[in-house]
């Protein structure tokens, strides 16, 4: 069986709406995803980088993120044909471990705990494919990077791109 590694934030978990709402509410702003095409919020508001990171250090931040549409059904189907590992760069926010683990158990209970990889540098991951929204993880990855579209990566080229989970299904399982 070939092995697929899958990122969590902005791929399985809809991270951005909550992060944006916290920032907007605290600053009386109304930034939308449309304002963030081709860039990250910390680039648009570079004077608030530390506060933006602090939202993510809240141990509960990752606990109630919405599940990306169709990700549960598609991952369940992939699971029959591929070895699936969930690979999240959790060392960036070590306080997120418990919330991320509980979120996975809630929404992806059919996956085995031993296939969850909370890691630092993803270049250690040995898989045939990595589905991720950050191209930096592909640079030293030995398998095929699959870029999951997010507002910040719309200008990236050089990798197969999927816009949603139906695209993931088509890429790996045909239509």
| Site residues for Mg ion per CB under 5 A | 7, 9-10, 133
Strand pairing report for 129-132 and 116-118: unpaired
Residue nearest to Mg ion (CB): 9
DSSP per-residue codes, 23-42: HHHHHT----GGGGTTS-HH
Of 23 and 80, nearer to Mg ion (C-beta) is 23
Of 1 and 40, nearer to Mg ion (C-beta) is 40
Residue 166: strand, helix, or coil: helix
Q: Alpha-carbon torsion 113, 118, 124, 128, what sign?
A: positive
CB 7 within 8 A of CB 134: yes
> Of residues 7, 14, 25, 128, which has the active-site annotation?
7
133 catalytic? Reply is no
CB of 137 to Mg ion, least distance (A): 8
Of 27 and 120, nearer to Mg ion (C-beta) is 120
9 catalytic? Reply is yes
**Active site members:** 7, 9
């Amino acid at each position: 069986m070939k092995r697929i590694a899958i990122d969590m934030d902005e791929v399985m978990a809809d991270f951005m709406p909550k992060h944006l709402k916290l920032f907007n509410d605290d600053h009386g702003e109304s930034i939308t995803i449309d304002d963030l095409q081709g860039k990250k919020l910390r680039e648009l508001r570079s004077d608030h980088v530390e506060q933006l990171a602090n939202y993510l250090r809240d141990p509960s931040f990752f606990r109630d993120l919405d599940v990306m549409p169709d990700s549960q059904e598609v991952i369940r189907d992939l699971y029959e044909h591929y070895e699936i590992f969930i690979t999240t760069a959790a060392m960036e926010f070590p306080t997120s471990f418990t919330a991320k683990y509980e979120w996975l158990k809630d929404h992806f209970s059919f996956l085995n705990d031993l296939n969850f990889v909370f890691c630092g540098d993803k270049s250690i991951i040995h898989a045939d494919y990595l589905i991720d929204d950050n191209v930096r993880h592909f640079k030293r990855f030995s398998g095929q990077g699959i870029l999951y579209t997010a507002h910040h990566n719309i200008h990236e080229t050089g990798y197969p791109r999927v816009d949603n989970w139906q695209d993931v299904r088509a890429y790996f399982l045909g239509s």
